[in-house]
Amino acid sequence: MIKLEGHTNWVISIAFNNAGMLASGSWDRIIKLWDVSTMTCIGTLEGHTDSINSVAFNNTDGMLASCGDNTIKLWDIPTMTCIGTLEGHTYAVLSVAFNKDGMLASGSGDNTIKLWDISTMTCKGTLKGHTNTVSSIVFNCDGLLASGSWDKTIKLWDISTMTCKGTLEGHTNCVSSIAFNGDGNMLACGSRDNTIKLWDVIANKFNRPLKGHTRPVYSVAFNNDVMLASGSSDNTIKLWDISTMTCIGTLKGHTNIIWSVAFNGDGLLASGSWDKTINLTHIYTKKFVKTALLTLNRYNLIDDVIDNIMEKLGVIDNKGKITGCVI
């Protein structure tokens, strides 16, 4: 595990882009950009007048969206400058998400979701239906928009018609975080009822809940459709095997609430916490480590050479200690 430090208040949101850059938003009102290959901060974005609640990359053009106060800011990453501020919500904006075509959605404490055309910096429509704060929004690969709310429900939206396609009910407390798997048919929902529900959005039904956290679940994220990570106010991250619906690992290291988790696509898990830090943990299966060692031993390499290669892979540190989580 590697710890990134620099924020002076709670880290609320983190996100990777396709190039492996990590963005972190904090209640210190700033966004930090991190090069995870060198574990260094490469930029700081300032402009919000209140805590930053969510960050999201637009992978079609490298733009970053962030929300705090009652606004959304758009940032050009190459120049690290703010290129626009979107206004329209009447209460704090808690979540932002891009679809594959670059449309931006925002969820707010005013109980609404707004859809934005970032080329014109204009609001294209407002989705209403939730009866409490919209805490989390996410698009799937087909453009379906899901929204989780403090009203304990998740709504599915067709943005082409601006209509609600269905409402998912089952949680007994606020929905804190939602995430689609890669093919967009499964939706994971973390709640303040301490559980995670996995929904089949085609059939509008969920499997049995994932239980194990002892306090509210504030963030969920998929890794290659086979694993789910969940962060909680019990200060732990749990890793779940989706095929068996079982917990296969528990990560400890943060000293306060874990508010955000994200995978980069290569098994690197980032987590942001109220302890003001970001932890980076490589997630490896025992099969991966065993295969790597067998492959290296096949070439009769000496131990020092094997250790050097495993260190470069991120499996061990320079003292030979495993730095990631082997499950």
What is the strand order of the sheet 40-46 is part of?
A: 11-16, 21-26, 30-35, 40-46
What is residue 265's predicted lDDT score, i.e. its pLDDT?
83
What is residue 279's predicted lDDT score, i.e. its pLDDT?
96
What is residue 286's predicted lDDT score, i.e. its pLDDT?
53
Give residue limits of the domains in the chain. Answer: 2-283, 285-327
Task: Return the percentage of the chain with pLDDT > 70, whole number.
Answer: 87
What is residue 298's predicted lDDT score, i.e. its pLDDT?
59
Average pLDDT value for the chain: 89
Topology of 2-283 in CATH?
Methylamine Dehydrogenase; Chain H (2.130.10)
With beta carbons less than 8 A apart as the criterion, state whether 268 and 311 touch: no
* Token duo for residue 293: 């060692």
Residue 153: which residues within 8 A CB-CB, separation 6 or more?
Answer: 130, 167, 168, 169, 171, 175
Cα–Cα distance list, 261 to 22, 36, 156, 269, 318 (Å): 12, 15, 23, 7, 26
Instruction: Round to whole Å and give the CA distance between 145 and 97.
Output: 9
What is residue 322's predicted lDDT score, i.e. its pLDDT?
46
Tell whether the model's pLDDT for residue 59 goes beyond 90: no
- Structure confidence at residue 266 as a pLDDT band (50, 70, 90): confident
Work out the average pLDDT over 276-304: 65
Name which of 33, 3, 10 is nearest 258 in CA terms: 10
What is residue 308's predicted lDDT score, i.e. its pLDDT?
58
What is residue 320's predicted lDDT score, i.e. its pLDDT?
46
What is residue 321's predicted lDDT score, i.e. its pLDDT?
47
Work out the average pLDDT over 40-55: 96
pLDDT tens across 205-256, in order?
887 899 999 999 999 999 987 899 999 999 999 999 998 999 999 999 999 9
Tell whether the model's pLDDT for residue 10 goes beyond 90: yes
What is residue 172's predicted lDDT score, i.e. its pLDDT?
96
What is residue 291's predicted lDDT score, i.e. its pLDDT?
55
Q: Which residue has the higher pLDDT, 327 or 55?
A: 55
Instruction: Round to whole Å and give the CA distance between 123 and 136.
Output: 19
At 173, phi and psi to the nearest 5?
-150, 180
Cα 54 from chain centroid?
Answer: 9
